[in-house]
Amino acid sequence: MTNITTEKLKTRFPDAVLGVESFKGETTVTLKADSLLETARFLRDDPDLQYNLLLDVYGMDRHRLGLSPRFAAQYELFSIPKNRRIRLNVPIAGPQAGNGALPKIDSVTGVWPTANWLERETYDLMGIEFAGHPWLHRIMMPRNWVGHPLRKDYPLGGEPVNFSFDKDNPRFAHLGKQIMAGPSFHSELAEEMDEEGHLIINMGPQHPATHGVLRLAVELDGERVVKIQPELGYLHSGFEKIGENRRYEQFIPYCDRLDYLAPMSNNLGYVMTVERLLDVDVPQQAQYARILLVELQRIASHLVWLGTHAMDVSGTIHALLMYAFNWREKILDIFEMVCGARMTTSYFCVGGLRWPLPGAFQDAVRHFLTGFYPDGINEFEGMITNNPIWKSRLQEVGYLSAEQAIALGVTGPMLRGSGLAFDLRKAQPYSGYDRFDFDVPTSDRGDSYGRYLVRMEEMRQSVRIVEQVLNKLKPGGPHKTSDRKVVLPPREEISTSMEALIHHFKLVTEGFKPPKGQVYGLIENPKGILGFGVVSDGSAVPHRLRMRWPSFVNLQATDTMARGGLLSDIVTIIGSIDIVLGEVDR
């Protein structure tokens, strides 16, 4: 095996590397916990490696895998210049149970600032303490929550949770012991916030421009933003925990509800990850159909972004929102035609498409394209691209240099808006993207206007891809793999073949069982890089299901971008990040 990364690591830190493992094309390096920081710096700074993008940090409870020590922290690294990936697996010794002392590991926030929230989340949900973290507080669960939900010994339900405001009401007396202490309480503010001299104001969760239940504690000097502290978790529903208690194929509908503006893309990301774990071959035509639908989804997601962004910035041009939603409506009609659902599609299944494409599908897409491109997009552009007020509201607002963006782990159109042409569809093509011709739009501006231009151009490029796919798409042919271990056999086969009946029975009652191992699949979602980490213990239920959602990581950049701006700029910046609270809080 000639992996330059592992070779270099082994020669440089012979004592630190405990083991190197390769599975399904992914390399995992197991490291000693106390040498994590110097290894991390080496990985980032070495000119041959340049792992500048930290994609994900997550904890593993290896309780049931029979590994010791029980906890491990995992780091997904990506080198944009070298286009390489590696996973660091760092087992953590220390207290292994109980709610008191937590296992402890060094924080890598000094190396990759993006680790800040990811480590907070790991601390919150898995109970791993990160020494040297600037502000290690719970991020998803309430401040006074007891326990760490993603640990395997955490009870799965049945305990009373009192969400009533009215806790003195005798009607709620039966709820008995309360996990949450008070009706409404203040979360702590970061120490550097000046509560005396400055105005500290809540934006959200009930605010027109926070796109849901995001809450920002904003420190204002007059109207100038001094610091923003985002508060998440209002919509937290424990999707990772759900995923670890569902069979692989049962999690697909849950994906729809995360980034609910891009269910197709989420499905594809998850399905591709599981397919890689299972080594399933997806038929060519199904791959094409997937690309087509995902690109339509990208257009739809960007249309919602455009409408809501314009509405946030202006407050009153809902017109653009209505026009954008009109076009999105037509895309949703196509989705409805394909799978019966408009938003919660769940159309992709492990091994292909759930149903074959309907006959009128291609005509419907063509019909949409003729109206939308170029007239539809040009209409939007004509309304705002050169509008002086729009420009003055977006230009020089929320500046993020490419270095800052990478350090903060920002991906997707935001990274490209900072001038870096990094797109997974080009860098590590999946599902056959390499067969299609398209450009990766970038903008050197780095401000909200640059991100606006990038997204508008991305819609055009998506149209380009869709047009090419349409020409290659042929009706008929298999829409699913023929691997009977993964997909159900067709109806007529069940009544004639005993083997098919057994497959059917096994799949329905038990589900498929992937081999033991760990994969981490990436996909370029409309909002950025979406990652699914799946750890299989050989059963039909994933042992660990980790998700990296782009909105969550991108949102972290709010403070950096908004500092020194005005209160109004926050709204522009939130809009230009394009968050969906469903995937931020998950």
Partner 1 sequence: MEPIITWLANLLANVSWWPWPAPPSAAIIIWVVYGLFIAFGIAPLAMIVLTWLERKIIARIQDRIGPNMAGPFGWLQAVADAIKMLTKEDTTPAGADRIPFNLGPGLIAVSAVLVFAVIPLAPGIIGSDLNIGIFYVVAVGSFGVLGTLMAGWSSNNKYALLGAFRAVAQLVSYEIPMAISLITVAVVAGSMSTLTIIHNQAVANGGWYIVAMPITFLVFFLAGMAETNRSPFDLLEADSEIVAGFHVEYSGMKYAMVMIGEYVHMLALAGLSATIFLGGWRGPFVEQLYNAVPILGGLLGLVYFLAKVLLFIFVMMWFRGTLPRFRIDQLLDFGWKFLTPLSLFNLLTSAFVVKLFQPAGTAGVALPAGPLAGFGGLGLTSALLISNLLVAFIASLAVRSLARRSRGNVLKAVAGVEG
Partner 2 sequence: MPVDYLPILILILVAAAFAVIALVVPFYLGPRNPTKVKSDTYESGKLPYGDARRQVPVHYYMVAMLFMMFDIEVVFLYPWAVIFRQLKVFGLLEMGVFIAILLTGYIYIWKKGALEWN
Query: Could you give the 3-state DSSP secondary structure of residue 135?
Result: coil
DSSP string, 193-209: --TTTSEEEEE-SS-TT
> Please, what is the minimum distance in Å from the beta carbon of residue 402 to partner 1?
19
| Cα–Cα distance, 140 to 585 (Å, whole number) | 7
Q: Which is nearer to partner 1, 105 or 310 (CB)?
A: 310
Question: What single-letter DSSP state applies at residue 137?
Answer: -
Q: Is 224 in the site for partner 2 (CB under 8 A)?
A: yes
| Cα–Cα distance, 384 to 312 (Å, whole number) | 14
Q: Which does 567 bind (CB under 5 to 8 A by kind): partner 1, partner 2, none?
A: partner 1
Question: What single-letter DSSP state applies at residue 539?
Answer: S
Window 284 to 313, contacts with partner 1 (CB under 8 A): 310-313
Angle value at C-alpha 225, between 220 and 229, nearest 5 degrees: 85
Q: Is 397 in the site for partner 2 (CB under 8 A)?
A: no
Q: Is 375 in the site for partner 1 (CB under 8 A)?
A: no
Window 60 to 119, contacts with partner 1 (CB under 8 A): none
Residue from 4, 101, 319, 421 in contact with partner 1 (CB under 8 A): 319
Window 436 to 495, contacts with partner 1 (CB under 8 A): none
Across 377-508, the runs of DSSP E, i.e. the strands, are none
For the chain, the maximum distance between any two Cα atoms, rounded to a whole number of angstroms, is 80
Q: Which does 312 bind (CB under 5 to 8 A by kind): partner 1, partner 2, none?
A: partner 1
Q: Is 144 in the site for partner 2 (CB under 8 A)?
A: no
| Cα–Cα distance, 400 to 145 (Å, whole number) | 35
DSSP string, 329-368: HHHHHHHHHHHS-SS----EETTEESSPPPTTHHHHHHHH
Q: Which is nearer to partner 2, 100 or 197 (CB)?
A: 197
Q: Is 567 in the site for partner 2 (CB under 8 A)?
A: no
Q: Is 183 in the site for partner 1 (CB under 8 A)?
A: no
Q: Is 201 in the site for partner 1 (CB under 8 A)?
A: yes
Q: Which does 568 bind (CB under 5 to 8 A by kind): partner 1, partner 2, none?
A: partner 1
Q: Is 359 in the site for partner 1 (CB under 8 A)?
A: no
| Number of residues located near partner 2, criterion CB under 8 A | 23
Window 189 to 208, contacts with partner 2 (CB under 8 A): 189, 195, 197-207
Q: Is 581 in the site for partner 2 (CB under 8 A)?
A: no
Number of C-beta neighbours around residue 193 at 10 A = 16
Residue from 248, 270, 323, 348 in contact with partner 1 (CB under 8 A): 323
> Please, what is the minimum distance in Å from the beta carbon of residue 15 to partner 2?
50
- Sequence-separated (6 or more) residues with CB below 8 Å from residue 576: 309, 394, 398, 414, 417, 448, 451, 452
Q: Which does 496 bind (CB under 5 to 8 A by kind): partner 1, partner 2, none?
A: none
User: Which one of 152-160, 210-218, 322-330, 554-562 is the stretch in contact with partner 2 (CB under 8 A)?
Assistant: 210-218
Q: Which is nearer to partner 2, 65 or 199 (CB)?
A: 199
Closest CA to 71 of 53, 86, 84, 89: 89
Cβ neighbourhood burial of 395 (10 Å; 0-12, 13-18, 19+): middle
Q: Which is nearer to partner 1, 219 or 524 (CB)?
A: 219
* Contact by Cβ (8 Å): 461, 433: no
* Contact by Cβ (8 Å): 29, 89: yes
* Contact by Cβ (8 Å): 413, 458: yes
Q: Which is nearer to partner 2, 144 or 370 (CB)?
A: 144
> Please, what is the minimum distance in Å from the beta carbon of residue 567 to partner 1?
6
Number of C-beta neighbours around residue 496 at 10 A = 9
Token look-up 């204002």 returns: 220
Residue from 63, 198, 207, 247 in contact with partner 1 (CB under 8 A): 207
Query: Could you give the 3-state DSSP secondary structure of residue 158?
Result: coil
Q: Which does 198 bind (CB under 5 to 8 A by kind): partner 2, partner 1, none?
A: partner 2
Cβ neighbourhood burial of 219 (10 Å; 0-12, 13-18, 19+): buried
Q: Which is nearer to partner 1, 154 or 325 (CB)?
A: 325
Helices assigned H by DSSP within 27-114 = 36-45
Token look-up 């949900």 returns: 125
Residue from 96, 387, 404, 497 in contact with partner 1 (CB under 8 A): 387
> Please, what is the minimum distance in Å from the beta carbon of residue 217 to partner 2?
7
Q: Which is nearer to partner 1, 46 or 379 (CB)?
A: 379
Q: Which is nearer to partner 2, 200 or 343 (CB)?
A: 200
Closest CA to 235 of 119, 126, 140, 124: 140
Q: Which positions touch partner 1 (CB under 8 A)? A: 199, 201, 207-209, 220, 222-223, 310-319, 321-323, 326, 383-384, 387-393, 395-396, 566-571
Q: Which positions touch partner 2 (CB under 8 A)? A: 165, 184, 186, 189, 195, 197-207, 210, 215, 217, 221-224
